[in-house]
Amino acid sequence: MIKAFENYEVWFVTGAQLLYGGDAVVQVDGHSKEMVEGLNNSGRLPVKVVYKGTANSSKEVADIFAQANNEKKCIGVITWMHTFSPAKMWIHGLQILHKPLLHLHTQFNEEIPWDTMDMDFMNLNQSAHGDREFGHIISRMRIRRKLVVGYWKDPKTQEHIAVWERVCAAWADSQDMLILRFGDQMNNVAVTDGDKVAAEQVMGYHVDYCPFSEVMKYFNEVKDEDVDALVNVYFSDYDHDAELEDTTTEGYKKVWNAAKAELTLRAVLEDKGAKGFTTNFDDLGDANVEQTGLGFDQIPGLASQRMMAEGYGFGAEGDWKSAALYRSVWVMNQGLQGGCSFLEDYTLNFNGEQSAILQSHMLEVCPLIATARPRLEVHFLGIGIRKSLTARLVFTSKVGKGVTATVVDMGNRFRLIVNDVDCIEPKPLPKLPVASALWIPQPNFEVGAGCWIYAGGTHHSCFSYDLTDEYWQDYAEIAGIECLIINNDTTVDNFRRELRVNEVYYMLNKALC
């Protein structure tokens, strides 16, 4: 359906038992096939569902789940109990299952056939208590899962499954995710750093350092004709002043050099199989680049903007957690229309109930969230090792609802913090030519910003117009990390109480382990 998901599949396993005879098993199998076909034909699920049969014994369950673990295309398992399926037969399979699990509580028939229902029908259609039996053993075994309750043909039910599928795809993608850091953390910042070993253990992705001396090897291999071609793409895809196309001007030179930097970064990432990267604007190669040519003559902001739009994870100033999270946001966002971006809390606008936060960065905001066609511009940037004219895309974001998220390292656990936000119309910034968004954190500035700070949230976050709290709750459930949601239902008192309760829970959990 969507390129990002075409190599993935979700397995569907139906629970039953042989108590009711072979004819019942045949009917269960037929109903299950019809349900899977209906789900796939609904047009709502981004990942294909594959029916893997009816499980009637402990051995059958364990065999199917072992196969799921070993099949790379399988990114998750959906279970449903058509009849009463004794839960002890699921124990060994659940003990070995390493893929995300969704428990679907549904029924093949929509309504009770009041006039014709007999004991045979009752024996066959026992989801009402079969799913409770299965739910009990999952809860007793403390197994993480998503529970979807509703009729399988209902669009709402299918949409909940679709959300989970997208999260499973992002999770699968992160299990072989490599993030390259071009430069280290900057200026002793705490919140953008953390335990890379723990992150790989918990969330799957690997973070490596790539010295700029190695980047220069790729830089020197970039061909001028390839740079020329990319510059022409820039001029075709983005609004710009005509004088930028004058090859004798400093502006053209900066655009050309920005294109060479993009081609360099692409070459490094493609060669190493990386899905994301971080930059450091104090580490761009030789400080005397104008004389030696051994480095980038500007921060690679334009490259970062364009590469984010294509799915590369990005984090500024060495923020590897944001780079990895943005890649996952982009994967979940595939096929949806709103767009997503890495963003930073830039400055505040106090205006009563309309008090808001300007979101931007020096340059690196993804054009997927632009309200109109971006403009390619060149302006002086007076920060970092390269205080010089710098190419960038300038735009403002769409008006609408969205959600932003970040992951922080709390020492004994990772914490996912999520905030629903309302993007509003910004005012012009004639002297600040950057890409930007302006939003009011829900439920309002005071509570939203306050709770984010109470939770230890970062000044960087990963934003999407399309994702919802449900996506992030599913992500945290699969990853087994703490999840804090800030939305219109949040109050400061309740949120602080949740923080205290969570602290006790995770301290006790660590002690018991």
CA 277/CA 446 separation, integer angstroms: 33
Q: Residue 359: how many CA atoms within 13 Å on its side-chain side?
A: 32
Is 129 flagged in the annotation as binding?
A: no
Q: What is the mean pLDDT of the chain?
A: 93
The pLDDT of residue 14 is: 95
- Residue tagged 């059958």 (tokens): 60
Rounded average pLDDT over 12-29: 81
Strand order in the sheet with 74-81: 48-55, 9-15, 74-81, 101-105, 146-149
Which pLDDT score, from 0 to 100, does residue 291 have? 58
Pair 416, 475: CB distance under 8 Å: yes
The pLDDT tens digits for 330-386 are: 999 999 999 999 999 999 999 999 999 999 988 899 999 999 999 999 999 987 777
Nearest by Cα to 506 from 407, 418, 410, 416: 410
DSSP symbol at 25 = H
Q: What is the pLDDT of residue 188?
A: 82
List the end-to-end C-alpha distance of the chain, in Å, as a whole number. 42
Look at residue 293 in the predicted model and tell me its pLDDT.
Answer: 64
Q: What is the dihedral of CA 128, 130, 135, 141, to 10 degrees?
A: 170
Average pLDDT over residues 142-157: 98
Residue 460 known to bind ligand: yes
Q: Is the pLDDT confidence value at 326 over 80? A: yes
- 320 pLDDT band, cuts 50/70/90, is very high
Question: Which part of the chain is CATH 3.40.50.10940?
Answer: 3-174
pLDDT of residue 20: 66
**The model scores a pTM over 0.85:** yes
User: Which of 55, 130, 129, 121 is CA-nearest to residue 92?
Assistant: 55
Q: Does residue 21 surpass a pLDDT of 70? A: no
Q: Which residues pair with 340 in a beta bridge?
A: 464
What Å distances lie between residue 11 and 64, 80, 122, 228, CA to CA? 9, 11, 27, 47
SS (H, E, C) 211-274: CHHHHHHHHCCCCHHHHHHHHHHHHHHCECCHHHHCCCCHHHHHHHHHHHHHHHHHHHHHHHCC
Total residue length of the chain: 513
Angle formed by the axes of helices 301-309 and 250-272, to 10°? 50
Residues 181-238: tens digit of each pLDDT: 998 877 788 999 999 999 999 999 999 999 988 999 999 999 999 999 999 999 999 9
Which whole number is the average pLDDT over 430-457? Answer: 97
pLDDT greater at residue 160 or residue 513: 160
Residue 103 and residue 135 in contact, taking contact as beta carbons nearer than 8 Å: yes
Q: Tell me if residue 281 falls in helix, strand or coil.
A: coil
Residue 311 has pLDDT above 60, yes or no: yes
pLDDT in tens, 123-135: 778 888 899 999 9
At residue 71, the pLDDT reads 97
Buried b vs exposed e over 96-109: b needs ≥16 C-beta within 10 Å? ebebbbbbbbbbbe
* pLDDT over 60 (residue 2): no
**HSE (CB half, 13 Å, CA atoms) of 205?**
27
Banded pLDDT at 287 (limits 50, 70, 90): low
Q: Is the pLDDT higher at 254 or at 287?
A: 254
Q: Would you say residue 25 has pLDDT above 50?
A: yes
Mean pLDDT of 310-327: 96
CATH 3.20.190.10 fits 3-174, yes or no: no
Residues 321/199, Cβ–Cβ less than 8 Å: yes
Residue 122 in this model has a pLDDT that exceeds 80: no
pLDDT band at 292 (very low <50, low <70, confident <90, very high): low
Cα(277)–Cα(205) distance, rounded to whole angstroms? 12
What is the reported pLDDT for 1?
35
Our CA angle for 129, 133, 136, nearest 5°, is: 135
* pLDDT for the residue 286: 65
